[in-house]
Chain A
């Protein structure tokens, strides 16, 4: 199934070639979790600070849940602004 992976700020370096505007479509096996998806792209676990699935925050515990086709996962290291 296909999901969208978006990696922002310093995590952008982990995006594969072909990514546009920080996003890339990726094929993953059924049952893949957010944690497994991020492992596959080498996103360091300690950098997975703000993790959103379809725009909604996913707590560290929830990152083991399986993704659904069409989901969008967006990740940032610790950031803030004002």
Chain B
């Protein structure tokens, strides 16, 4: 158990919803969520498919622990071929939607085809039907949420939706559930929009059973105690959220600033987690109202913020005066340090709009940063930007363009292409800070060497959440390594990648791993699921998932030549801080990484490796 053993197949072209038994052979090999849905995806979809065509599929997948009593067990993932990247995409989200879907009796939903007219899917336990969404199309995530709950007179409905960004084909559109939790990266929202699927609304009352209830209860209680007693998950994350990293990463000189021209931002203290808690000079109130937890989470790292009513950006917009999802570290970096902006209120507003209209703030902010460099270098001018003075540090440009991008208006149409296509369009591809088409996040690989290899080899394009070696290189979890040297990083990256693939396939949140190792997660999976879930088997599952994703990308046309970083990171030395004079030494790390993975010198898994992993 753990799994509900049932998936829902929704053919949007035909308008049909059909249940199917879950393939338990695959569940034993791929666990659930990221791994299992990727297996379904690669079996069913031609890797060369156009991501926005009806032939692409979109899978919402829970893990075997989703909806159970384990801490943080509310996660689900969206798996598809990414609109932004053309690579395998898997975007993970918290909130309450995933647990509700599982409680309705489903492990996964597989969407195929394209609806002739906009629709949304309503699931009430085993009942699933497609309903017209003509009057929802054109509306924001927040309005859609309110309308669906109102129309069904059910405030308990959990909803995942796209906003205008997903409808308008913004290539980094995301899917937002529970108003401000997002399956954020790689443009999964654009794929959903291309299918004319506006939302999924779920009510689930069936419960989730586990294989050995008594052992499960005992072990999950014991592991919750570890989270509570650990200083990071018990105090640091609930109090400061991920945003506590702003000053840390700035101090160590790895905060990509002004499109990664620099590695330290003088405004960092003003946009940090600490600053969010300090009273504002204008109204004497802090930006941060409280923290918030996802389903079943005993950490509660989420931020809830309120914008200063007197700030220019909301002075005449009372609809944004209420509390909503606040800045996380990545968002604050992308729309702050990377754009050279230090106006916390303007950034919070841009964050609200990203949630309201369904856009990935990392890719949006990093694309805006690239546009700012295009502007300052003269590659574009006011003619292109619609009169906006697009210099670094201009907060009004941020708040105007975040709206234009979601709506597909003005220069926002260009920004909605993402940084790679934008920089190519204006003849300066080297200014795009992307890997496999995806904007890299808030760690500069010149100051944290392992993150260079992490970005270069991530199967979904540049990403910190595929192997968060920052934990070791900066924070000393599980043990401290030197961020400035490449030695030992290939093994570290591989170990993090495989372990993360397991966590992402279980239904748990990756943030538990600041306190838990796989040794803590394994007994929870083992008590919930029948079968062999030894540590050894789980590690093999993680490695199998990684190689399965890799194979999909190779068949989609990627090669080892795509495992590279933006030229700036490997040829322009850091200008200040501890990494001054250093570039990222990817060339040293990559061959060793390939060898450790059992891949040939072109990054292709050898026949022996595939056989060992049962692929």
Contact = CB atoms under 8 A, between A and B. Distances in A.
Interface of A: 6, 8-10, 12, 21-23, 49-50, 52, 54-57, 59, 74, 76-82
Nearest to B230: A78
Contacts of A21: 269-270
Nearest to A55: B578
- Most chain-B CB neighbours within 10 Å: which of A22, A52, A56? A56
A50 B248 CA distance: 9
A77 B274 contact: no
Interface in B447-484: 464-465, 468, 470-471, 474-477, 480, 482
A77 B235 CA distance: 10
Which 5 pairs from chain A and chain B are nearest by CB?
A81-B242, A78-B231, A81-B245, A21-B269, A55-B578
Interface of B: 230-232, 235-237, 239-245, 247-248, 251-253, 269-270, 273-274, 329-330, 464-465, 468, 470-471, 474-477, 480, 482, 510-511, 514, 577-578
B510 A82 contact: yes
Nearest to A8: B247
B511 A82 contact: yes
Contact of A9 (B239, B464, B474): B239
Which of A50, A55, A77 has the most chain B CB within a 10 Å cutoff? A55
Contact of A8 (B244, B252, B465, B511): B244
B248 A76 contact: yes
B236 A52 contact: no
Contacts of B330: 82
Contacts of B242: 80-82
Contacts of B480: 57, 59
A6 B272 CA distance: 14
Given A80-B237, A80-B471, A81-B245, A52 B252 contact: yes
5 contacts: A8-B248, A21-B270, A56-B578, A79-B475, A82-B510
Given A50-B476, A56-B578, A77 B251 contact: no
B270 A9 contact: no
A80 B475 contact: yes
Contacts of B578: 54-56
A15 B215 CA distance: 48
B329 A81 contact: yes
Contacts of A22: 247, 269, 274
A30 to B, nearest CB: 24
A19 to B, nearest CB: 11
B288 to A, nearest CB: 13
Given A9-B240, A55-B251, A79-B475, 19 more contacts: A6-B251, A9-B273, A12-B274, A22-B247, A22-B269, A22-B274, A55-B252, A55-B253, A74-B251, A76-B248, A77-B236, A78-B232, A79-B237, A79-B244, A80-B242, A80-B471, A81-B241, A81-B243, A82-B511
Nearest to B266: A21
Contacts of B244: 8-9, 76, 79-81
A14 B244 CA distance: 17
Contacts of B239: 9-10
Contacts of B514: 80
A24 B269 CA distance: 13
A9 B329 contact: no
A21 B278 CA distance: 11
A18 B239 CA distance: 24
A22 B480 CA distance: 25
Contacts of A78: 230-232, 235-236
A81 B468 CA distance: 10
Nearest to A20: B269
A56 B484 CA distance: 9
Most buried by A among B230, B329, B476: B476
Contacts of A52: 251-252
Nearest to B477: A80
A77 B234 CA distance: 12
Contacts of B237: 79-81
